[in-house]
Amino acid sequence: MGSVAKQKTYSLFLAKPSTIPDEDLLTENARARLVTAIKASAPNFGDGGELFIFPGADHPPKWLSEVKGVFNIKTTLLGKSHSAVVIFKQGNNRFALTYGYGHVMLDDAQFVSDFGLRTCINFVDDAGVKSVERSNLASAIRDLSQAASGRSFDSYGIDDVLEVIQRVSGASRSSSFAASASGARALKISKKISLEDVPETAEQAEKLYRSNAYKDTQFAVIDQLSPVTDPAICDHLDGELLKSLHNESNSFEISAPEIRATTVAYYNIRGARVFGHTDVSLDLYLKNVPGGAGGLDLDKLKRHRIEVYDHNGHQEIDGWSIYRALIGSLSIAGRRYAIHEGRWYQVDGSLKDAAEKAFEDRCVPLDPIFGPLVEKVSGEGKAAKRALESEYDYNRRTAAQADLICLDQELVKVPARPGRGIELCDILDVEKRRYIHIKKSSRQSSTLSHLFKQGRNAAAMVQGDADFRKNALDLVGDKYGDQDRKALESAWNDGSRWTVEFRIADIPRPNGSFNIPFFSKLTFREECRLLLPTHDVGIGFIKTGT
């Protein structure tokens, strides 16, 4: 053992098995910078190590010129941030150890995507979890939950089958390996070791990664979605993914694989002519990639890269391939598969069947009240642009024609809760006791999942909050008069069972049927489960197009 000064934190990555040179584990951008990098070898570091130091360039912060335009200052500020990567072999494996923003220099495709997470859950105490980062495949929402002190893993509420655990941090069950750790793609460990001891620790970490000890703990929930390990099936799924992107079917979206605590100035997409955007989306990528969606192949998805820049705009602080950022699902031979963080998962068959049944059981027929959206034309000749009317215009027009109450964009204040309030519904049908929620498209899972949750939350507020009901009655009275207010109040007080009805405007599928993404069906099933004790639930469509 080397000399130990104090407890230190190291970030370790496990390379996939390969015989490629160490330099090829770096990104294309990093390899281009090797001509100016500082390189050194250490044959006795593990079974041989290579150090790459990437000097940072001198740049003034982007905001400096703007400040100088108002304030009379003559100071010149220059910032510099150096990064380093150590690639070393230990036994039959290769690892990377990073400093600064060195993780940006590593090629995602060459490293094991869940090395840190799997290693972490095999030795972290499931009763001493400090933070959990997760993402929901249906809503495309990523969140981080953090406790002031170690808590039981199940107290973080990981009960949705569509929640993929991305990162776990906490205290070790045994201090023999490390005092504490955080694991995602990289394993971050805090341990009283010196640098020369890192290879031995890396070897221990790889053995923990291979372990199944987590299956006897609360962390076993991580297996709710089964990873697809058969290369032939993965290749087939990649092919179907490309077909979906070529058709721009809206079955997939881009979701940042990691939450960043550092302030982000902007994003670029290398390879797709996207520069300086405050956010990125799959639609933005497909509209700007050379050759369009139809020209995409797997190599481009893995080579084209989202780059994240810091608040000064000079330092790339993170980045991912388009492939790694994709989120969504598809069905093959009756089985449902989902991609997340560049990995394919199979959804449990019984869960798939239950979601399909919940959707089919609650489908309601087309309603003549809800006619098609009106197409609006602006400009003339070749410059003419066609677009469907907005949801707001449609809801106002439809409600007026059917003598219903339009509450789209009318927010009801929620007592003792900050914020502008929430919508009760888009259209209120007092006579038939319906809260009607309308959405313009059924193709994007995250949008519909939000719609279903919004409908359930509003109905629950009416059911359980007298102050909210009063504010809603006052809103209806102000907008539509006292007669409608009294009618609504009477309907709420007569014990009638109301229906939460979702109406989705869309073009029929080629066979004439309507459908929604699978993950939205799972969300719909869950919201139905919560609503049905007190409300009826329906989902229907509004035929749009020819």
Alpha carbon 36 to its chain's center: 36
pLDDT of 483 reads 95
Nearest to 401 by CA among 427, 423, 440, 362: 427
pLDDT in the model for residue 310: 72
Strands (E), 174-315: 180-183, 187-191, 226-227, 252-254, 264-270, 274-277, 305-310
Side-chain-facing half-sphere of 164: CA atoms under 13 Å: 30
- CA dist 190 and 179 (Å) reads 6
> Angle CA(516)–CA(519)–CA(523) in degrees, nearest 5?
95
d(CA 537, CA 81): 56
**∠ CA 43-105-57, rounded to 5°:** 105
The predicted structure's pLDDT at residue 470: 94
CA distances 537 to 315, 359, 398, 456, 532, Å, are 50, 10, 21, 10, 7
Q: What is the pLDDT of residue 497?
A: 95
Cα R_g (the chain), whole angstroms: 27
User: How many other β-carbons are positioned within 10 Å of the β-carbon of residue 452?
Assistant: 27
Q: Measured between alpha carbons, how far is 207 from 203 in angstroms, rounded to an integer?
A: 7
- List the chain domain ranges: 8-217, 231-347, 358-543
Looking at the whole model, is its pTM more than 0.85? no
- Which tokens is 167 given? 């990162």
Task: Using the structure block, give the residue that is written with the tokens 């982007």.
Answer: 62
Low-confidence ranges of the chain (pLDDT < 70): 1-5, 62, 78-80, 137-141, 158-162, 174-175, 224-226, 229, 250, 255-265, 278-279, 311-315, 378-379, 381-387, 441-444, 509-510, 545-546
Report the residue count for the chain.
546
What's 342-383 look like in SS3?
A: CEEEECCHHHHHHHHHHHHHHECCCCCCCCCCCEEEECCHHH
Long-range contacts of 271-277 (CB under 8 A, 24+ apart): 271/300, 271/303, 271/304, 271/305, 272/304
**Residue in the structure block whose two tokens are 């919940």:** 358
Q: Tokens 């031979």 — which residue?
A: 333
Residue with tokens 């294309």: 28
The helix (H) or strand (E) run that includes residue 2 is none
Q: Which residues contact 384 (CB under 8 A, 6 or more apart)?
A: 377, 378
Query: Which residues are within 8 A (CB) of 200 and not within 5 positions of it... i.e. 6 or more apart?
Result: 90
Q: What angle do CA 271, 441, 388 make, to 5 degrees?
A: 95
